[in-house]
């Protein structure tokens, strides 16, 4: 079982007070946590990569807990989430796919009533590559006010034999949301969609 | 009542656990707090920049405290600091200077306790998503070579043309594997700000 080797951790939390319109009574908070880790499969084709998903589970759980703490809210205050991965050039996109289960389920373990699928994105890229990580409502994917994306990048990573794994969370709707659709107040939260 | 019209505040923390294969324990940690503010002088020449100097005073304390809080340290445990501003396209470089230089330092020094050394700085103009490199130096003795560093920050949707991005970085450590000699942190006296 390859051990997860972490080279760097970066967290970011942003409070949005307004975007040209009325100042929000409660700022819209958006946060990310990312880890730069060694890619145990870099440089060669390995058929059986799934055991690494198990190794990533504790890392995912730790990241989700740390991000909620950094955001300074109770787990129930998390209303949107997403995940992503950037794989260095000696790896393949499939290695990023290993983050789907450990990344997603770690957040769903922490956040109550998180019945919605965790949206995701991934790509292969060099150091400093930017990734736009999608965000949707934790209990109902169709809630239009909570669709968002958080751009992340880390200076100097991923190196060729590394991967960057990312979790993102938000505390509510976009600051001036007014594009209609299903409001969060109308969701049933049973099927993860509405 | 805030003087600065703040649209956003973002705080980033960067921890290095491994550098060039060597474990860094405890990890070196850098925090940068960033405010995105309205530029009251965008698009016109204004001679008297004192409003922006007031903004600098307010943000020095606010961002300094945010960075220290994000590191979870006592103010006295801060080791290095730096500041920078990025002016949107309708502003001028002098606007960054008005924020950074006259009044930002004193409240920042309060936030990190002491701070005998000059706060290193950088400034530039740019569009949304421009990368800003915030220089770092030891807070009490500028010649401490292990603590010369820089932290990169960027915000994808700022600064807009009429905005300014103001950044304050604070660390609880120097570079992860310092080995280029010079004055060490232990040897620094920290009275004249230099050694």
Report the DSSP beta bridge partners of residue B28: B16
B100–chain A Cβ distance below 8 A for any pair: no
- Contacts with B17 from chain A: Cβ below 8 Å: 6-9
Contact, A39 vs A90, CB < 8 A? yes
Residue numbers in chain A where pLDDT is lower than 70: 1-2
CA distances from B117 to A7, A61, B59, B82, B90 (A): 31, 41, 19, 11, 33
A8–chain B Cβ distance below 8 A for any pair: yes
Question: What's the CA dihedral at B120, B33, A158, A3 to 10 degrees?
Answer: 120
- Contacts with B161 from chain A: Cβ below 8 Å: none
Contact, B83 vs B170, CB < 8 A? no
Cα(B161)–Cα(A124) distance, rounded to whole angstroms? 32
Structure tokens at A127: 């150091």
Contact, A162 vs A192, CB < 8 A? no
- How confident is the model at residue A58, as a pLDDT? 97
Alpha helices (runs of H) in B72-173, residue ranges in sequence order: 93-100, 105-112
- How confident is the model at residue A1, as a pLDDT? 46
Is the pLDDT confidence value at B1 over 70?
no
Contact, A64 vs A110, CB < 8 A? yes
Instruction: Name the pTM for this structure.
Output: 0.88
Cα(B110)–Cα(A51) distance, rounded to whole angstroms? 50
Contact, B78 vs B171, CB < 8 A? yes
Section B42-59 average pLDDT: 96
- Contacts with A17 from chain B: Cβ below 8 Å: 6-9
Picking from A7, A13, A155, the nearest residue to B18 by CB comes out as: A7
Cβ-defined contact of A12 to B6 (cutoff 8 Å):
no
B72–chain A Cβ distance below 8 A for any pair: no
B11 vs A3 pLDDT, higher one: B11
Contact, B68 vs B17, CB < 8 A? no
Is the pLDDT confidence value at B94 over 90?
yes
Residue A189, class by beta-carbon neighbours within 10 Å (0-12 exposed, 13-18 middle, 19+ buried)?
middle
- How confident is the model at residue A3, as a pLDDT? 82
B194–chain A Cβ distance below 8 A for any pair: no
Three-state secondary structure call for residue B155 = coil
- How confident is the model at residue A141, as a pLDDT? 93
- How confident is the model at residue A2, as a pLDDT? 57
Cβ-defined contact of A8 to B16 (cutoff 8 Å):
yes
Helix axes B50-71, B93-100, angle to 10 degrees: 60
B14–chain A Cβ distance below 8 A for any pair: yes
Condensed to tens digits (0 to 9), the pLDDT of residues A46-56 reads 999 999 999 99
- Contacts with B6 from chain A: Cβ below 8 Å: 17
Looking at chain B, the whole-number percentage of residues with pLDDT higher than 70 is: 99
Radius of gyration of chain B (CA): 17
Structure tokens at A64: 């989700």
Smallest CA-to-CA distance from B69 within A25, A69, A168, A61 is with A69
Residue B44, class by beta-carbon neighbours within 10 Å (0-12 exposed, 13-18 middle, 19+ buried)?
exposed
Chain B: closest CA distance from residue A98 (Å): 22
**Chosen from B1, B14, B128 to mutate, greatest number of chain A CBs within 10 A:** B14
Q: Which residues contact A118 (CB under 8 A, 6 or more apart)?
A: A81, A82, A83, A103, A104, A107, A108, A136
Picking from B11, B18, B152, the nearest residue to A12 by CB comes out as: B11
Radius of gyration of chain A (CA): 17
Residues in A 160-189 with any Cβ partner in B closer than 8 A: none
- How confident is the model at residue B135, as a pLDDT? 93
B6–chain A Cβ distance below 8 A for any pair: yes
Q: What is the ipTM of this complex?
A: 0.80
B7–chain A Cβ distance below 8 A for any pair: yes
B8–chain A Cβ distance below 8 A for any pair: yes
Contact, B126 vs B74, CB < 8 A? no
Chain A: closest CA distance from residue B131 (Å): 10
Q: 3-class secondary structure for chain A?
A: CCCCCEEEEEEEEEEECCCCCCCCCCCEEEEEEEEEEECCCCCCCCCCCCHHHHHHHHHHHHHHHHHHHHHCCCHHHCCEEEEEEEECCCCCHHHHHCCHHHHHHHHHHHCCCCCCCCCEEEEECCCCCCEEEEEEECCCCCEHHHCEEEEECECCECCCCEEEEEEEEECCCCCCCCCCCECHHHCCCCCCCC
- How confident is the model at residue B17, as a pLDDT? 97
Condensed to tens digits (0 to 9), the pLDDT of residues A138-155 reads 999 999 999 999 999 999
């Amino acid at each position: 079982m390859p051990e997860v080797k972490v080279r760097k951790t970066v967290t970011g939390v942003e409070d949005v007070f307004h975007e040209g319109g009325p100042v929000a009574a409660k700022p819209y908070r958006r946060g990310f946590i990312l880890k730069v880790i060694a890619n145990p499969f870099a440089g060669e084709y390995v058929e059986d990569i799934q055991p690494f998903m198990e190794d990533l589970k504790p890392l995912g759980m730790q990241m989700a807990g740390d991000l909620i703490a950094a955001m300074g809210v109770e787990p129930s205050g998390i209303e949107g989430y997403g995940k992503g991965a950037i794989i260095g050039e000696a790896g393949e996109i499939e290695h990023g796919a290993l983050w789907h289960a450990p990344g997603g389920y770690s957040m769903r373990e922490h956040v109550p009533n998180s019945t919605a699928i965790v949206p995701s994105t991934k790509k292969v890229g060099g150091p400093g590559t930017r990734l736009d990580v999608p965000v949707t409502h934790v209990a109902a994917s169709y809630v239009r006010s909570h669709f968002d994306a958080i751009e992340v990048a880390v200076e100097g990573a991923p190196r060729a034999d590394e991967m960057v794994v990312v979790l993102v969370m938000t505390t509510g709707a976009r600051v001036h949301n007014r594009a209609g659709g299903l409001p969060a107040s109308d969701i049933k939260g049973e099927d993860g969609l509405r | 009542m805030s003087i600065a019209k703040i649209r956003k505040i973002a705080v980033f923390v960067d921890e290095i656990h491994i550098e060039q294969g060597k474990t860094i324990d405890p990890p070196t940690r850098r925090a940068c707090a960033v405010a995105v503010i309205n530029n009251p002088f965008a698009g016109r020449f204004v001679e008297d920049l004192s409003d922006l100097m007031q903004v600098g005073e307010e943000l020095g304390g606010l961002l300094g405290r945010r960075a220290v809080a994000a590191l979870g340290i006592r103010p006295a445990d801060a080791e290095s600091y730096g500041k920078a501003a990025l002016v949107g396209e309708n502003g001028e470089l002098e606007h960054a200077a008005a924020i950074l230089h006259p009044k930002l330092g004193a409240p920042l020094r309060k936030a990190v306790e002491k701070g005998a050394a000059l706060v290193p700085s950088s400034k530039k103009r740019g569009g949304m998503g421009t990368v800003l490199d915030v220089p770092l130096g030891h807070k009490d003795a500028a010649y401490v070579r292990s603590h010369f560093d820089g932290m990169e920050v960027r915000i994808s949707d700022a600064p807009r043309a009429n905005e300014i991005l103001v950044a304050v970085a604070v660390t609880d450590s120097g570079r992860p594997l310092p080995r280029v000699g010079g004055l060490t942190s232990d040897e620094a006296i920290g009275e004249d700000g230099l050694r």
